[in-house]
Amino acid sequence: MTLAGHQPSGLFKEYFLEIDGFRIRYEEDGQGNQVVLLEGESWGLSKVRDALSEKYRVLAIELPGFGKSGTNTKSQSVPELAITASRVVERTVAGKFTLVGTSFAANVALWQTLQSPEMVEALILISPTVILPTEILPKTFVSANAQEERLRLLLAHPDGLPSVMTVDPELWSREQELVLRLKGHTHDEAAEARLSEIRCPTLIVFGVNDHMVAPEAARVYAEKIPNSNISLVYDAGHLIEAERPEALIDAVSTYVEHRETFIVGRGSNLINP
């Protein structure tokens, strides 16, 4: 899924690496402190990526099985996919970095942080589904013909946005089959049990009207990740970049710059853009 109204900066350079039997595509632009974006479902973070590249060195890694990378039948779990992502980073990034992921890619980013905590200096999870995803009928969500139903699940205002969103039905189906095979829509008890191990500054961003995750999920992250902030974006569903791009860019950019001194009042870890 892409945002038809957004034109990429065109400054990102495309590269490929052979890792774990995959030909992995990644793009790079910008200079300065390093930000790694894991790109999963094809709606991506193009606007956030372009905004960050104005101040930072941004590396956008396309996870195997998503976007242009072709079918992934090798990866057997989210932690295994996170290991592959870590190996890409080892080849392309020197030193510590801020790690960002959205939706399923946020789940991979969380596991990558658990596996390589010494390398991730800050973590940003946008609309993660690793904790308390809602019970959505898989066939309904995967179906390439259920455009209207998909939008109602992903957006706060589905009637107002179909004109600016496009989806490749075949790509959608392939990506969601992989997400389901790796249990991307299933509560990850192993990940929840290890949330307290995440010590780096962590921002978790949800749309207030996200139908893909139970409302209690935000509380679980806040309680179990010691140095965490929760950002609730009003008037947005699961695809925050589609509905409130400016709010998302502001939250992510500010956190990358300020981290634990992020705009939070004393005694609170909740932000509402």
Which residue is it, tokens 């709010």?
Answer: 247
- Is the pTM higher than 0.75? The answer reads yes
pLDDT for 40 equals 86
Q: What is the mean pLDDT of residues 65-91?
A: 95
Backbone angles phi, psi at 149, to 5 degrees: -65, -40
Which of 4-8, 75-79, 106-110, 171-175 comes out lowest in average pLDDT? Answer: 4-8
> Among 25, 42, 203, 33, which residue's Cα sits nearest to residue 110?
203
> What is the end-to-end Cα distance of the chain in Å, rounded?
25
- At 111, is the secondary structure helix, strand, or coil? helix
At 165, the pLDDT band (50, 70, 90 cuts) reads low
**Smallest Cα–Cα separation from 109: which of 87, 79, 65?**
79
Q: How many CB atoms lie within 10 A of CB 199?
A: 13
What does the pLDDT read at residue 262?
Answer: 64
Q: What is the pLDDT of residue 168?
A: 76
SS3 201: coil
Helix (H, G, I), strand (E, B) or coil at 178: helix
Report the pLDDT value the prediction gives residue 152, as an integer from 0 to 100.
74
